[in-house]
């Protein structure tokens, strides 16, 4: 059998502490027909010494360097240079099991699917498991069902890694370069919206390393507002399609995330800070006031209205918790 080329894209920024393990795990894949694309997003540390060392030993490695412009730009550049029939992502501070690509390829070809998904082990920097994600049986989903699960954000989540995509789904894709983080949350739904079939496995072949200094874990008020922007982009998409299942769960998930973002911003800013951002969030709540308590839950129903009609009272209330 002639195995098709998989383009494996690794965005890299100041990753000298983790890149070695990441690259060794990628280079050691049992699936050999790989194009390994390192996109260096303006690193100022010793990352280049690591990837150039491995490039001299493995001609599958392609290195692209750019001025620092963020992970979205790095992923977009990687996609533009990819020549494989399938696309896969690995972050430079994570690592994968040796059969990561082989399992994903087996899944996607056996089911003639558009996207294959495996699970991750969520670990700290010492390799200790920090989170046990509930699992479901290995399942094949039709496209609309997979999209609804992505929007629910439980069984399927909006991170680009841990998945294999047919190139046709991502060839015209562009991760948003105007937001600093949560770019994956506002992008994955665009891919899933094109998929007709998605296959998922419970095999934990991706090691996601949770670091205290990462942008996604440092939910500063500014970072939290980036998440708000991403949430609203996905919500507007959902409003326009509505051809998915579990509408109530999806609506509740949006409200839950918005209130989480709002709480983080209010608790870490003074009354005069980020006034425009706070008002933008308050005004966006008008889109959610139409949902009854039985759809989004009594607690969320109450807090939405409290902040929309009495923002000062809501701020005092949550600041005491």
Q: Cα(130)–Cα(210) distance, rounded to whole angstroms?
A: 8
pTM > 0.85: yes
Domains and CATH numbers, the chain: 6-209 (3.90.550.10), 221-319 (no CATH)
In degrees rounded to 5, what are phi and psi of residue 206? -110, 130
Which of 55-64, 105-114, 186-195, 244-253 shows the lowest per-residue confidence on average (mean pLDDT)?
244-253
Closest CA to 179 of 227, 238, 232, 233: 227
Q: Cα(51)–Cα(54) distance, rounded to whole angstroms?
A: 5
Dihedral in degrees, nearest 10, Cα atoms 109, 150, 234, 164: -30
- What does the DSSP 8-state code read for residue 198? E
pLDDT at 215 over 60: no
Exposure class string for 25-42: b at 16+ Cβ within 10 A, else e: bbeebebebbbbbbbbbe
pLDDT confidence tier of residue 140, bands split at 50, 70 and 90: very high
Instruction: Note the helical H segments in 60-198.
Output: 71-81, 100-110, 143-152, 167-170, 188-192
Question: pLDDT tens-digit profile of 268-321?
Answer: 999 999 999 999 999 999 999 999 999 999 999 999 999 999 999 999 999 865
Question: pLDDT tens-digit profile of 70-105?
Answer: 999 999 999 999 999 999 999 999 999 999 999 999
């Amino acid at each position: 059998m002639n195995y098709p080329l998989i383009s494996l894209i690794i965005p890299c920024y100041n990753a000298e502490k983790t890149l070695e393990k990441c690259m060794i795990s990628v280079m050691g894949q049992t699936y050999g027909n790989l194009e390994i694309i390192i996109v260096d997003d303006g690193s100022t540390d010793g990352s280049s010494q690591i990837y150039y060392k491995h490039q001299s030993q493995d001609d599958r490695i392609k290195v692209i360097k750019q001025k620092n412009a963020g992970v979205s730009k790095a992923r977009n550049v990687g996609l533009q240079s990819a020549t494989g029939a399938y696309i896969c992502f690995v972050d430079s501070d994570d690592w994968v099991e040796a059969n990561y690509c082989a399992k994903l390829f087996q899944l996607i070809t056996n089911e003639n699917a558009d996207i294959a998904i495996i699970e991750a082990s969520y670990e700290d920097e010492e390799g200790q498991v920090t989170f046990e994600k509930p699992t479901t049986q290995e399942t094949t989903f039709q496209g609309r069902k997979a999209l609804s699960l992505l929007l629910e954000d439980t069984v399927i989540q909006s991170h680009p890694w841990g998945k294999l995509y047919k190139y046709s789904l991502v060839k015209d894709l562009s991760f948003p370069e105007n937001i600093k983080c949560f770019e994956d949350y506002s992008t994955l739904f665009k891919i899933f919206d094109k998929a007709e079939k998605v296959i998922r496995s419970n095999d934990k072949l991706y090691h996601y390393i949770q670091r205290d200094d990462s942008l996604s874990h440092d939910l500063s008020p500014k970072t939290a507002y980036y998440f708000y922007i991403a949430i609203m982009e996905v919500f507007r998409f959902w409003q326009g399609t509505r051809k998915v299942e579990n509408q109530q769960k999806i609506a509740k998930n949006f409200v839950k995330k918005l209130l989480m973002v709002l709480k983080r911003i209010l608790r870490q800013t003074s009354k005069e800070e980020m006034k425009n951002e706070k008002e933008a969030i308050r005004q966006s709540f008008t889109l959610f006031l139409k949902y009854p308590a039985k759809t989004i839950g009594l607690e969320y129903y109450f807090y939405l209205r409290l902040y929309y009609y009495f923002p000062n009272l809501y701020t005092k209330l949550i600041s005491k918790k």
